[in-house]
Amino acid sequence: MKLINLVPYLKSFDSLEELYKLNNLDIKSEAIIIYMEETLAIESEIVFFEIEETKDNLTYKKNGINYIQLFPVNYAMEIIEDLLGFGYDELEIAQRLLEYRIKDG
């Protein structure tokens, strides 16, 4: 999944529930963290890890693949909620999320 494909799932809690089911994520986890494979880029693959596994580290390595933390899901949802008021489409929202992470990181 790419970041642009993730954005629609983060627009509402109903969609988020569907995302959790599709990715077999534990809803009882303290937090689900969004990571990008290898680099923070719009074309990078998105993966999800429970905070208990990654210990909230900004970088995480599993099965020889390096992952870089984007945001916890709940934080990404807050950012998207703010951006929706500006009428951005999914690509613009994805780009802004990425820019925010890169500048904030």
The backbone region for 40, taken as left when phi is positive above 0, alpha when psi lies in -120 to 50, beta otherwise, is beta
Give per-residue pLDDT as tens, 6-33: 999 999 888 988 999 999 998 889 999 9
Q: Which two tokens stand for residue 59?
A: 């970088």
Q: And the tokens for 47?
A: 């993966």
The answer to whether 43 and 1 are in contact (CB under 8 A) is: no
Q: Cα(first)–Cα(last) distance of the chain, in Å?
A: 22
So what's the pLDDT on residue 6? 96
Output the pTM of the full model. Answer: 0.93
